[in-house]
Amino acid sequence: MKFTKYILFLLLIAFIGSSIYIAVQPNEISFSKTKIIAAPQEVAYTYINDLRHWTNWVPWKKTSTTDTNSNSKEYTWLQDNSIGRISTKQSSKPSHIQQDLVFHDYPKSELEWKIDSVSPKTSRVTLSMSSKNITFKKKAYYAIFGTPETDLAPKFETSLVALDSAIVKSMKVYSITINGVTNHSGGYYLYNTTTTSIDNYKSKVQQMMSDITDYIKENQIPMAGFPYVLYHDWNPENNTVSFSCCIPTTTQVISTNDKILTGLLPAFKTLKTTLKGDYNYLDKAWDAAFKHISANDLTRAKSNIMLESFITNPKYKVNPANWVTEIYIALADQDSTEQGYANLKLPSNNP
pTM of the model: 0.80
Q: How many residues does the chain have?
A: 351
Residue 305 vs residues 120, 340, 344: alpha-carbon distances, Å: 35, 10, 7
164 and 216 in a single domain? The answer is no
CATH for 292: 3.20.80.10
- Do residues 129 and 219 both lie within one domain? no
The percentage of residues in the chain with a pLDDT greater than 90, rounded to a whole number, is: 60
Residues paired with 264 in a beta bridge: 188
List the beta strands (DSSP E) in 56-135: 74-79, 82-92, 96-103, 106-119, 122-131
User: What is the helix (H) or strand (E) element at residue 180, kind and residue range?
Assistant: strand 175-184
Residue 127 domain-assigned (yes or no)? yes
Of 140, 171, 202, the residue that ends a domain is 171
Q: What is the pLDDT of residues 46-89, one digit of tens each?
A: 999 999 899 888 887 765 434 455 567 888 887 777 788 889 99
Mean pLDDT of 220-242: 93
Claim to verify: residue 238 and residue 104 sit in the same structural domain: no
136 and 182 both lie in a single domain: no
Whether residue 290 sits in one domain with residue 326:
yes
Q: How many domains does the chain have?
A: 2
CA 314 to chain centre: 11
**What letters, b where the CB count within 10 A reaches 16 and e where it falls short, cover 90-103?**
ebeebbebebebeb
End-to-end CA distance of the chain: 97
165 and 193: one domain? no
Q: In this structure, is residue 243 part of a structural domain?
A: yes
Alpha helix segments (H runs only) across the chain: 2-23, 41-49, 136-145, 148-171, 201-218, 282-295
pLDDT at 155 over 70: yes
Residues of the domain holding 236: 175-330
- Judge whether 340 lies within some domain: no
- Burial pattern 144-158, b for ≥16 Cβ within 10 A else e, equals eeebbbeebeeebee
Whether residues 219 and 309 share a domain: the answer is yes
Examine the domain organization and report whether 197 and 133 are in the same domain.
no
Tell me, yes or no, whether 291 lies in a domain: yes
Q: Mean of the pLDDT values across residues 298-322?
A: 93
Do 248 and 142 have their domain in common? no
- When pLDDT is cut at 50, 70 and 90, the band that residue 17 belongs to is very low
Question: Any idea what the CATH number is for the domain that residue 116 is in?
Answer: 3.30.530.20
* 19 lies in some domain: no
Per DSSP bridges, beta strands 106-119 and 96-103 are antiparallel
Q: Which residue(s) pair with 83 in the sheet?
A: 78
